[in-house]
Amino acid sequence: MNDVPRNTVSRTAKLAALPLGFAGRTALGLGKRIGGRSAELVAQEIQQRTSDQVFRVLGELKGGAMKLGQALSIFEAALPPELAEPYRATLTKLQESAPPLPASSVHRVLAADLGEDWRSRFSFFDDAPAAAASIGQVHRAVWEDGRQVAVKIQYPGAGPALISDFTQLSRVGRLFGVLMPGLEVKPLLEELRNRVAEELDYRREAQSQQAFAVAYADDPDIYVPPVVACTDHLLVTEWMDGAPLSKIISHGSKQERDRAGILLTRFLFSGPARTGLLHADPHPGNFRLLADGRLGVLDFGAVDRLPDGLPPFFGRLLRVMHTDEPDIDQVERELRANGFLRPGISVDLEALRAFLAPLAEPSSVETFKFSREWMRGEAARITDLNASNVSRRFNVPPSYVLIHRVSTAGIGVLCQLECEGAFRAEVLRWVPGYTDDDDPLDEPEAVPAAS
């Protein structure tokens, strides 16, 4: 049975093989260069083999390691152009697929959760998966009442594998405490582990998806498939066709990319106001551009519960940063009050202003164009390990983990789309705290459909 590898030693060895494999290929490449091959050809071969190994190992492991791979695929937009291209095609695969379970394993899960007569629940069931991801794979089927459905099946052993992966990744994660003195690592890693473990709870996911489906049922621009049935290891929802965002990124017209970008922004920001929930896994594989121009949304396993909507802290911070001469003392007070600057951690206020200004730029102008070039510049600023870098002084409070994940990953997708639009209007409409009379439930402005 080709289930998720459960042995901790085996999985740890696979993770460890990634850097070791790269080192081996580099040594082999040096030998080829001595033998007369050009440095460019050798480097290209090393990069291609490395990307293939990363895809294969993370895909085989699924679980937490696969999720790490999906996160990396979001941020390929931040890589320098000369390094990004060899990885782009391989990393895009991580957003849409992983090595599938055999039909025999799928049937065992169906029988365990629906009974030995599980086939009676379907008029048709396709044994070949339509998609495979980190902790489950999706099969196309026809429900007993004739509805076209998607059946998400959780990988056997996904739970222990997920926890094991994060235990291993946490040991590496402790290095961030050295690299980033302002980060309180232990509670952050614990929160990440708890949040990701929630994705194993399909009943919880079904409740979240249905809440979104009801809230957006009559929305002209956003569609969420309703839930049909759910068990501990199965989630059945109505089927949704459409072009995955990864295809819009690679082959979409400017109009399609601009529309997808503004609707993605609207969905992510409006969710907390309309449902009290935040969709917290914005990678391209979870979104479709439908034939009628709507944005279709999938995968509600990672959801942040925000019954009062997004924290007004963000709106207040943006309002200050959008002024001609921001009151940086007020900004520092807000950051400290919300746990982003820990007690005893000092920052240069002018450096803080210079650091935050570009982050507020997309919502400071009437229209903004996201691009890979802009993303690379921001990534270089934020990840600079120079001791004077303000980002090294920041903390991520546990309660903001998923909001931070959505913010960074969402921006990554917008930069991959290289979309342009009125993002400021969406932020001002949906983020509380920016004005004194926020009413996020105002009717959103219609977005012209792509022709």
Decide: 75 and 379 in contact? Cβ < 8 Å.
yes
- What does the alpha-carbon distance between residue 319 and residue 313 come to, in Å, rounded to a whole number? 10
Q: How many angstroms separate the most distant Cα atoms in the chain? A: 71
Strands (E), 63-220: 122-132, 136-143, 148-154
- In the chain, the percentage of residues whose pLDDT exceeds 90 is 49
DSSP at 294: P
- What does the alpha-carbon distance between residue 110 and residue 299 come to, in Å, rounded to a whole number? 20
Residue 6 has pLDDT above 50, yes or no: no
- b/e code 146-158 from CB counts within 10 Å (16+ = b): eeebbbbbbbbbb
pLDDT value of residue 217: 97
Residue 439 has pLDDT above 80, yes or no: no
This prediction's pTM: 0.76
DSSP at 121: G
pLDDT level of residue 391 (50, 70, 90 thresholds): confident
**Among the listed residues 251, 264, 257, 270, the one whose alpha carbon sits nearest the alpha carbon of residue 296:** 264
- b/e code 32-61 from CB counts within 10 Å (16+ = b): eeeeeeeeeebbebbbebbbebbbebbbbb
Strand partners, 304: 278
pLDDT digits 0-9 by tens, 192-214? 677 777 888 999 999 999 999 99
Most confident of the following: 175-184, 374-383, 441-450: 374-383
Other C-beta atoms lying within 10 Å of the C-beta of residue 297: 25
**Among the listed residues 45, 37, 78, 41, the one whose alpha carbon sits nearest the alpha carbon of residue 374:** 78
CA 308 to chain centre: 23
Burial of 206 (0-12, 13-18, 19+ CB in 10 A): buried
CA 56 to chain centre: 20
Q: Are strands 148-154 and 136-143 parallel, antiparallel or unpaired?
A: antiparallel
- What does the alpha-carbon distance between residue 267 and residue 245 come to, in Å, rounded to a whole number? 14
Decide: 158 and 62 in contact? Cβ < 8 Å.
yes
pLDDT value of residue 21: 44
Decide: 216 and 259 in contact? Cβ < 8 Å.
no
Question: H helices within 35-114, ranges in order?
Answer: 39-61, 63-74, 81-96, 103-114
- What does the alpha-carbon distance between residue 308 and residue 438 come to, in Å, rounded to a whole number? 13
Spans of all domains in the chain: 8-96, 241-451
Strand partners, 297: 287
Residue 171 has pLDDT above 50, yes or no: yes
Residue 177 has pLDDT above 60, yes or no: no
Residue 431 has pLDDT above 70, yes or no: yes
- In the chain, the percentage of residues whose pLDDT exceeds 70 is 67
**What is the arrangement of strands in the sheet containing 222-223, beginning at the earlier edge strand?**
222-223, 295-297, 287-289, 243-244
